Every structure is written in structure tokens, then in C-alpha cells.
């Protein structure tokens, strides 16, 4: 259960919101939060520690030991650093841990601007059938052509999408697809817990259909649904700062609110589970 967790970052607060709704085990250990998702142990950011301060001298061995104690069988290492300014901490400590540092942009919006370029001949609607979710699976694999096609990765994706569908079926949100001639070419979800904050999840567009206005139309449709149908007051979306999609979000009215720090060390196999 969640104890007296006091998380500054809206990025991590909504991460914890999603994990709680999905049934993850979340415990507060004063200086850090433990997030555990037994149903999907290969999901890095479902099985991680969130620390309340950047890495300092002496933290490498301590952080590694804490993670190993909580996740003795995990082949990965995943650590979050709470904060809003993107400070991961002492570079020598991070090098000792052997982690990759990701600092993502957290953007928020309370109203949206219509896209200047509408995707032509597309239909945006919620996923409603097994066939729709099967297309979402195919789209996910089409969007990740970086050699992560291992059996372990497929299992991770299957479990993660099953979790997303379960959240939708429970009324915590909706997953939308943008369809062209019946084929899903872009998709993404939006989830909330009734607090007034709604978080986007996994907005993706098929590589062969990018730069056609699909993502803009999709995100605007989903966000407008969240503000007017879901009752959200603030929309939250997280993006890599150098990824082209962030320009789309800003053009729609999202503004940079903070920078979120995630540290990870992949299993030796190199499988991606984020």
C-alpha cells in the first residue's frame, strides 16, 4: 500500500497514479519509494525505486544494494530521482552505477489549441474489440524496429497492453486509435483517478504514416475528450526532449513544466522493457 508518499514531480506522481490503478505494490520507505509489479517483472518502470534526492557521494553502493534487496531476481536496474529540474546527481556516482541517464520533458496543459494540420481521411475512436487491441499490438511492434523482437520483449508488450486494456475496462481511462481505411496507424491512451489530473500513455504512430498530421489529430482528440468528457483539469504528457513529437505537443498547447530523471541499466541481453 502507499504510505505518506510526498512526490514533487508531477511526472512521477502520475506514474505512481497509474501503477496504483494497475494494482502494483507501492511502499514508502522514507527516503525512497518502492514500486513493484509482480504481474510484469520485465517492466522496468513497473519495478523500480524512486529516491527523494539526486545521487550523492556514497549512494552508488547503497542504491544498488537497496534495489537488489527489493528485486533480487531482476536482471535490470531502474531508479527514479524525484524533482523538477532534471538533476540526476553526482556524475561519478552515476558512472559507478553504470546507468544510462534519461531526462525527459514533462509537459502540461489546461486547454488545447486545434492542430493547424488535420490528418486527412482518418477516424479517431476508442478501442472497443479484441480486433482493435490486436491492431494496437501490431502497431506497437511496428513502432519498435530497433532489434527488440525477442520473446521476452514480446511478453513484456503483451502484458503491458493487457494491463492497459484492463485499466480501460475498469473505467480508469480510454485507449484511442487513429484509423485509415480500417487500419490503426496511430494510438494512445489517457488515464485518470478522479483527482483532476489525466496522464497520456504511449502515443505512437506507424513509421510509414508519420508527418501526415495523425499524431496531432489524435492527441488533440484525446486531450479534448479528457478535458470535456473525463472532467480532467490538467493534462500531463512526458516526452524525450529531442524527439520530434514534442514539437507537436507544444503546438497543441502543452507547456514544459519540469524535467524527469530516470536511471536504468539494461539486462545483459539488451532487451528493452521500459
Which pLDDT score, from 0 to 100, does residue 2 have? 43
Q: What is the arithmetic mean of pLDDT over 133-137?
A: 96
Determine, yes or no, domain membership for 181.
yes
* Domain-embedded: residue 115: no
Domain count, the chain: 2
**Least trusted range by pLDDT, from 28-32, 44-48, 121-125:** 28-32
CA 166 to chain centre: 16
**pLDDT tens figures, 113-128:** 999 877 668 999 999 9
Q: Is the pLDDT of residue 9 over 90?
A: yes
- Domain match, 150 and 98 both: no
Are 200 and 242 members of one domain?
Answer: yes
State whether 130 and 98 are in the same domain: no
Distance, CA of 78 to CA of 87 (rounded, Å): 16
For residues 50-78, average pLDDT:
96
Structural domain includes residue 155? yes
CB-based contact 214:176 (threshold 8 Å): no
- On whether both 166 and 50 belong to a single domain, the answer is no
Task: Check residue 1 and give its pLDDT.
Answer: 37
Q: Give the pLDDT mean for 76-81.
A: 97
Percent of the chain residues topping a pLDDT of 90? 82
Q: Does pLDDT of 87 surpass 70? A: yes
Query: Domain containing 31: what range?
Result: 10-104+260-265
Task: Name the percent of the chain lying above pLDDT 70.
Answer: 93
> Tens digits of per-residue pLDDT, 190-232?
999 999 999 999 999 999 999 889 999 999 999 999 999 999 9
Taking residues 89-102, report their average pLDDT.
Answer: 97
CATH of the domain at 133: 3.40.630.30
Do residues 149 and 240 both lie within one domain?
A: yes
Find, among 226, 229, 183, the residue nearest to 208 by Cα.
183
Based on the fold, state whether residues 20 and 48 are members of the same structural domain.
yes
Mean pLDDT of all residues belonging to the chain: 92
Asked if residues 176 and 187 have their Cβ atoms less than 8 Å apart, the reply is yes
Same domain for 168 and 48, yes or no, is no
Establish if 117 belongs to a structural domain.
Answer: no
Q: Are residues 93 and 139 located together in one domain of the fold?
A: no
Nearest-10 crossing angle of helices 151-169, 130-142? 140
Q: What pLDDT was estimated at residue 3?
A: 46
Asked if residue 267 has pLDDT above 80, the reply is yes
pLDDT band at 62 (very low <50, low <70, confident <90, very high): very high
Identify whether residues 134 and 215 lie together within a single domain. yes
Residue 249 pLDDT exceeds 80? yes
Give the per-residue pLDDT at 269. 58
> pLDDT band for position 5 (50/70/90)?
low
**270 domain residue, yes or no:** no
Q: Which helix (H) or strand (E) holds 219?
A: helix 214-225
Residue 155: pLDDT over 90: no
Whether 271 is in a domain gets the answer no
Q: What is the pLDDT of residue 218?
A: 96
pLDDT confidence of residue 116: 84
71 and 128 fall within a common domain: no
95 and 127 in a single domain? The answer is no
Question: Quick check: is 205 in a domain?
Answer: yes
* Beta-sheet pairing, 183-192 with 197-205: antiparallel
2 lies in some domain: no
Mean pLDDT for 37-58 is 94
pLDDT digits (tens, 9 = 90+) for 64-73: 999 999 999 9
Do 86 and 177 fall within a single domain?
no
Amino acid at each position: 500500500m502507499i504510505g505518506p508518499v510526498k512526490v514533487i514531480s508531477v511526472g512521477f506522481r502520475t506514474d505512481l497514479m497509474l501503477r496504483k490503478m494497475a494494482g502494483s505494490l507501492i511502499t514508502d520507505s522514507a527516503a525512497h519509494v518502492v514500486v513493484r509489479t509482480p504481474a510484469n517483472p520485465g517492466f522496468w518502470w513497473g519495478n523500480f525505486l524512486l529516491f527523494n534526492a539526486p545521487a550523492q557521494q556514497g549512494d552508488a553502493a547503497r542504491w544498488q544494494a537497496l534495489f537488489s534487496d527489493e528485486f533480487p531476481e531482476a536482471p535490470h536496474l531502474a531508479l527514479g530521482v524525484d524533482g523538477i529540474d532534471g538533476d540526476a546527481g553526482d556524475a561519478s556516482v552515476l558512472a559507478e552505477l553504470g546507468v544510462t541517464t534519461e531526462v525527459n520533458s514533462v509537459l502540461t496543459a489546461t486547454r488545447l489549441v486545434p492542430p493547424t494540420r488535420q490528418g486527412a481521411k482518418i477516424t479517431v475512436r476508442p478501442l472497443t474489440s479484441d480486433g482493435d487491441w490486436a491492431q494496437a499490438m501490431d502497431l506497437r511492434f511496428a513502432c519498435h524496429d530497433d532489434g527488440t523482437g525477442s520473446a521476452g520483449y514480446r511478453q513484456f508488450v503483451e502484458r503491458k497492453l493487457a494491463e492497459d486494456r484492463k485499466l480501460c475496462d475498469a473505467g480508469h481511462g480510454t485507449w484511442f486509435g487513429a484509423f485509415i481505411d480500417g487500419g490503426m496507424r496511430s494510438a494512445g491512451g489517457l488515464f485518470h483517478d478522479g483527482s483532476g489530473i489525466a496522464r497520456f500513455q504511449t502515443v505512437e504512430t506507424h513509421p510509414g504514416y508519420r508527418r501526415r498530421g495523425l499524431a496531432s489529430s489524435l492527441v488533440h482528440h484525446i486531450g479534448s475528450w479528457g478535458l470535456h468528457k473525463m472532467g480532467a483539469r490538467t493534462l500531463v504528457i512526458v516526452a524525450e526532449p529531442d524527439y520530434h513529437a514534442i514539437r507537436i505537443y507544444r503546438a497543441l498547447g502543452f507547456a514544459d513544466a519540469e524535467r524527469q530523471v530516470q536511471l536504468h541499466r539494461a539486462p545483459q541481453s539488451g532487451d528493452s522493457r521500459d
